[in-house]
A and B are shown apart, each in its own frame.
Chain A
Amino acid sequence: MNEAALPKRKEGLARSWVRFRKNPLSMAGLVFLALITLAALLAPWIAPYPQDASLGVHFDKALSPPSREHLFGTDEAGRDIFSRLLFGARLSLMLAVIVLGISFSIGVPLGIIAGYYGGAVDEIIMRVTDVFSSIPALVMAMAVCVLLRPSLENSMIAIALVWWRSFCRLAYGETLSLKQEDFVTVSRALGSSSPYIMFREILPNMTSSLLVKLTLDAGYAILVGTSISYLGAGASPPTPEWGIMVAEGRHSLPGSWWASLFPGLAIFLTVLSFNLIGDGLRDFFDVKVE
């Protein structure tokens, strides 16, 4: 008997979890991300020197190497790098949530509308998307951010204003194939309105693709955000933003390597965990999302 023809087994949440847990790499990502999130939430309570994340400076302790008092050493203003990293985690995770939130709510509806209606609507929406897609996200987001005046908030807005294009393309592609399905035809025959079909019939059926994309893009958005800050177009000192911390630490290379090593490592590990989870989810749902 043909296996593909068998009805798919309904899977409860508990069973899915068992299946997902089998992937050790994704589990490692999930555990690390949970730790980072916890650290971000509890930063004011668990940071050994919480005042160092804002205005505190101790020039007498500048650039002291990692020790028991300062786990990751101190930076050029004598601030505890570990404490600043904990507070920085808030900013990076917030950036991912805000960027993805905005770009998801712009891109997905546009993509579904373009794919569902086709014709002139499709042409207009997708050609605009093409224009946005032909410039690397980092370049355009950086330009928009500087024009809005460099700041952490503006860098989030700028990235979101560029990022919607990839959600739009994904939703568009999915809609094109989903609208051929029988359940759409049936729903239409039953007299469902177009908005109902688009957002209650088609949208729920692309949940797994969107979930994988959201996970993978969270990492990439953090990479773009920290790069913008590193280049001086985003957050400004003394914000404990990870990209800025690397930028400030580079002046003390090669002697005081810890000032740029640890913030960069934090970015790398956070992005890696999102990628590990996203990669696992991609296998789990068996979808093709880049």
Chain B
Amino acid sequence: MYYLRRLLYMVFVVIGVSMLMFALVRVLPGDPIGLALGPNATKEDMEKMRHEMALDRPLHVQYAMYVREIFWNGKLGMSLIEKRDVMEVIKEKFPATLELVLVAMLLALIFSIPLGVTAAMNRGGGWDHFNRLLALFGVSFPHFWSGLMFQLIFGSLLALTPLTGRIGGSSPEDITGFFLLDSLLTLNGAAFKDSLVHVIGPAVILSLGPLANITRLIRANMIDESTKDYIMVNKATGMNELIVRYKYMLRNAFSSSLTTIGFLIPLMLGSAFVVEKVFAWPGMARFGADAIIANDFNGVVGVTLVICLAFVAVNLAIDILYEVLDPRIRVKR
């Protein structure tokens, strides 16, 4: 029953977003056809294109056609800037964006967990204050600027990382679409190193915000945990302090942080719009940003739909993970 309700809710959100964005790009005054055909297009050309893209039909008819195309032919409509179906574009570019977001999330988790735990243990001390300041810095950077400064320092001045792009040499054989994973699977050391130095810049920039958020969250939840009875019992039995912290407290502190951590992923997909533009990362978010600027309405609806699906998928994944990490929830439901 619980899962049925959750599922219905998710279907509602996806339908809602698709309708909202679909209507928005058609009702608001932008002129995509004029932009796509350029200033020299004749009235007939524009009428013809409008007819081909069914823009002259009533809104609800267009929406019905759009939904039918998705389920019958797996198509999301023609992209005006890529001149091919949006589904094709997204299939090609989504792995790059997901790889970037996942690497950034991994970086954020690796650094934030020890930072959060040690800050909580030194509550009120110098290290804790330093941590708080660090976290506030992390959420205050405009991505486009921190990205440019990263390129300036590590790319131009120190020449440690490439300025832009995803890989310098040839791409590894396509298995999953993740260059890091594919090059490992095909034992292609050169491609692995190549894609690693390329991903590091955008991933670091994208990870700053989440890093700050997770650190603060882990800190707060560790402090909550530290006042609980089982911790006192553990300590009273003479258990090693590190085991108490990292095995018992962190497990509970982490699972109460899970919802927020999960919802950082769709948020990062949004920030990726800026980061991918700065680092010329060939992903879906960069396509999304270009599509918005060029009024490529099918592109805009397609990309937002994918982000919304990611949001819904994270929702579901959190529900399931909660049960794995916290057996008490299984009993409650």
Contact = CB atoms under 8 A, between A and B. Distances in A.
Contacts of A250: 148
Interface stretch (B44-52, B235-243, B268-276): B268-276
- B interface, size bucket: 35 or more
A254 interface: yes
Given A230-B274, A268-B141, A268-B142, A142 B292 contact: yes
A134 interface: yes
B266 A136 contact: yes
- A interface, size bucket: 35 or more
Interface in A237-265: 243, 246-247, 250, 253-254, 257, 260-261, 263-265
Nearest to A132: B20
Contacts of B145: 246, 260, 263-265, 267-268
Nearest to B143: A227
B13 A134 contact: yes
A128 B16 CA distance: 8
Given A253-B156, A275-B136, A226 B142 contact: yes
Of the listed residues B20, B142, B288, B300, the one surrounded by the most CB atoms of chain A closer than 10 A to its CB is B142
Tell me the dominant secondary structure on chain A's binding face: helix
B148 A142 contact: no
A246 B289 contact: no
Contacts of A272: 136-137, 140
Interface in B271-318: 271, 273-274, 277, 288-289, 292-293, 295, 300, 303-304, 307-308, 311-312
Contact of A131 (B20, B132, B137, B140): B20
Given A143-B292, A243-B142, A276-B136, A136 B148 contact: no
B231 interface: no
A276 B293 CA distance: 34
Contacts of B25: 143, 147
Contacts of B132: 25, 279
A135 B300 CA distance: 12
Interface in B198-214: none
B12 interface: yes
Nearest to B315: A134
Contacts of A254: 152, 156-157
Which 4 residue pairs are nearest across A and B when measured between Cβ atoms?
Answer: A136-B270, A264-B145, A147-B28, A131-B16
Interface of B: 9, 12-13, 16-17, 20-21, 24-25, 28-30, 129, 132-133, 136-137, 139-146, 148-149, 151-152, 156-157, 260, 266-267, 269-271, 273-274, 277, 288-289, 292-293, 295, 300, 303-304, 307-308, 311-312
Interface of A: 25, 127-128, 130-132, 134-140, 142-144, 146-149, 219, 223, 226-227, 230-233, 243, 246-247, 250, 253-254, 257, 260-261, 263-265, 267-268, 271-272, 275-276, 279, 290
